[in-house]
Chains A and B, each alone.
Chain A
Amino acid sequence: MEHPVGAPDPGEGDSQLTAADWTPTEGDLPEAAGRRLSDTAWSSGLSVPDFAATIAVGLEPASVVQGYAVLQWSWYAGARYRSTPLWGSGRSSGQYAEQWQCPHGFVGAEHRTWGYNAEVPWVQDSWAQGWGLAYKRMVEEAVAAGAHGVVGVVDDMQYLAGGYTAEFRISGTAVRVPGVRFPRQPFTTYLAGQRLAKLLEAGYAPVSVVAGLSAVQMFGYCITQYQLSGTVAGSTWASTGVESVHQVNRAQRAARHLARQRISEQLAGDALHGAVLDQFEHEAGEGDMTVQCLLKGNRVRRFKPFDPVGVPEPVVRLG
């Protein structure tokens, strides 16, 4: 599939793809999908209660819309060290990188005399590329369906073919608002039904779903290696103490902060509601680790003055 005209090419280092980046002018929608979406029949992926609540707010379901992208990832191919901030030009561009030096002096050839924590840009960019492509394709379908937005968005990713191929999929229900001017691009939200109604009643407009993945690689120096194995230099007679594993803590914190930073950069002053953080880590051996954090949520914008609801009264239900 070619990228739609007007959309930034996600393959050229744009790791912060958001709906706000794109005003579709000419899409890459499959011809059959275009015909189906322009038909008068509508479909909805909402549950019946969500469907009823969505209609009550004034949103009319137009079509179930989807976006897919299958990408090959070469995480550990030749480019492995190319963009690591410690060696490349990344450090000067503000990417996270830290080094640790062994306090022992020369001990042996296998002694880890230094260690590092570093942001892994190619993992982050690959994920953003796949997610961004799937997102754009879903939005493109919503535009073809004449929708103002997409509600009840569901997204996930799964590995195919041994873990080096990733399938991104995003879907939702495109909705129309009769008689209302179209926004610059369709809004998207993970919310639907009563939760969306409450958001609107509270004075927040859904802007878009946002997601960001951060990845930090840790190569432990001698102290970290000892702390994670409980021993000193592999001996059974000398052990580490009960102490904070400083290098791991720094890597874990950096991964979370990077994920939050990537999301914050997409907000442009708006607020994020209902954030969900998923953290993954892979220990490649004693002292080595990759930490990834996926953060996503609903970007919302206030459209009317703050109007708090009254203090709720507690109730006890009988029967």
Chain B
Amino acid sequence: MTGPEHRLPAEGMPADHTPGPVDLAAALAVLTDGGATAAASGRGTTSDLSIDEVLLLHSIGWEPVDLVFGVSWWSIPWGAWQWQTGEIADASAAFAGAVREASDLMREECARAGGSGVVGVDIGLRVASHHVDVTLTGTAVRRIGDSKPGFDFISDLSARDFALLTRAGWWPVGLAAGASFVIAPRRTAKQWASQQGQNMELPNLTNALYLARENAMEAMQRSGLDMAAEGIVNVKLREGPLGHSARIMQFVAFGTGVRLQEGTHRPVRPDMVVSLDERVREFDVRKLRNTGRR
């Protein structure tokens, strides 16, 4: 999609710029025999962005390059989930290793495709008994006309969020993630018996969740600092029992590390709009049908 026909958004272009009427004859002409040969030669670009997102990226001078992936499975040794309580360090380490490797692979693919970053990364995570697997899918992007961009970032922000973030003076630097898996201690027989028939907190499970939370949040924060991020936005959490056992508490946190581009935040001042559409007063036809039946 690069080429001489491209130009960057004009400086000072009015915000209410609207495209002209659609010329369907011209659109269909490129699908005729003569028009088909006008298609660019070579490999086509691929992207999982919607047309809205592509237009939005274009409006800020960016374009999609290619669909890129990162997949990593890491093993968890046998016995990791048994005969112990507290954090399962092997599972947490496997998660960290899988995220790191998947990110590195995505980074390689992006650089090979000629992108300078990846937006809208969809993150898949599965924790099984003997492996953790992380899948990353996103679209590599670059500034329009930049034929030799250096790799810059991976982000799970949408194209809309990316446009807003950069407008406010911030820049995504990478995926920050942390996870912790904690096995809660069993209650003693005496505790179990004394707690029967009562509505009460189970501190062993609450404490396990808190321990997992603290470890995971710290790991995410540390991974953000490692990539020189000033903060992490769009943080998403996954918490609760893991599934193998009600006593295993998981806490997973991930988001996009960001830093200021020029040292200061640029406030985004949105215009306030009031819709003039009046909500149509509706009535339910079924009520008429049921009249007098009850």
Chain A residues packing against B (C-beta within 8 Å): 20, 57-59, 148-149, 177, 179-185, 187, 191, 195, 197-202, 204-205, 207, 227-231, 236, 239-245, 248-249, 252-253, 256-257, 260, 263-264, 267-277, 279, 295, 297, 299, 301-319
Contact = CB atoms under 8 A, between A and B. Distances in A.
Given A264-B46, A277-B67, A312-B59, 17 more contacts: A179-B25, A180-B24, A187-B28, A202-B51, A227-B75, A236-B79, A242-B74, A264-B43, A267-B43, A272-B46, A297-B48, A308-B58, A311-B59, A312-B56, A315-B273, A316-B271, A318-B272
- Most A CB contacts (10 A, CB to CB) among B1, B51, B69 go to B51
Given A183-B28, A253-B69, A307-B19, A264 B75 contact: no
Contacts of A309: 17, 19, 55, 58-59
Given A180-B24, A184-B32, A228-B130, A276 B75 contact: no
Given A205-B30, A230-B129, A314-B271, A57 B79 contact: no
Contacts of A275: 46-48, 67
A236 B207 CA distance: 30
For the residues of A in contact with B, the DSSP-based class is: mixed
A269 B39 contact: yes
A307 B23 CA distance: 14
A249 B74 CA distance: 9
B19 A202 contact: yes
Given A275-B47, A312-B59, A303 B32 contact: no
B289 interface: no
Interface in B161-184: 163-164, 167
B44 A268 contact: yes
Nearest to B46: A272
B59 to A, nearest CB: 5
Contact of A181 (B29, B66, B80, B275): B29
B94 A274 contact: no
Contacts of B202: none
Contact of A269 (B16, B41, B130, B271): B41
B195 to A, nearest CB: 34
Contacts of B74: 242-245
Contact of A274 (B48, B77, B268, B269): B48
Contacts of B44: 264, 267-272, 299
8 contacts: A182-B28, A195-B50, A249-B73, A270-B40, A270-B44, A305-B5, A310-B9, A313-B270
Contacts of B1: 271, 302
B193 interface: no
B46 A267 contact: yes
A244 B5 CA distance: 45
Contacts, number: 251
A184 B38 CA distance: 14
B52 interface: yes
A301 B77 CA distance: 50
- 3 A-B pairs with least C-beta separation: A267-B44, A230-B78, A183-B31
Contacts of A180: 24-25, 28
Contacts of B7: 306, 308
B221 interface: no
B95 to A, nearest CB: 10
Nearest to A187: B31
Contact of B90 (A204, A228, A242, A272): A242
- Most A CB contacts (10 A, CB to CB) among B48, B71, B74, B80 go to B71
A143 to B, nearest CB: 14
Given A58-B22, A180-B24, A181-B28, A276 B50 contact: no
A245 B78 contact: no
Contact of B15 (A177, A240, A242, A312): A312
Interface in B190-211: none
- Most A CB contacts (10 A, CB to CB) among B14, B28, B58, B67 go to B28
B23 to A, nearest CB: 7
B59 A308 contact: yes
B73 to A, nearest CB: 4
A272 B51 contact: no
Contacts of A295: 67
A202 B55 contact: yes
Contact of A317 (B56, B71, B73, B273): B273
B27 interface: yes
Nearest to B16: A310
Contacts of B271: 313-316
B234 interface: no
Contacts of A302: 1, 5, 30
B84 interface: no
Interface in B48-64: 48-52, 54-56, 58-61, 64
A269 B51 contact: no
Nearest to A283: B128
A317 B275 contact: yes
B280 interface: no
Given A229-B130, A269-B40, A244 B73 contact: yes
Contacts of B72: 244, 249
Contact of B19 (A149, A181, A185, A201): A201
Contact of A273 (B9, B41, B51): B51
A198 B75 contact: no
B274 A319 contact: yes
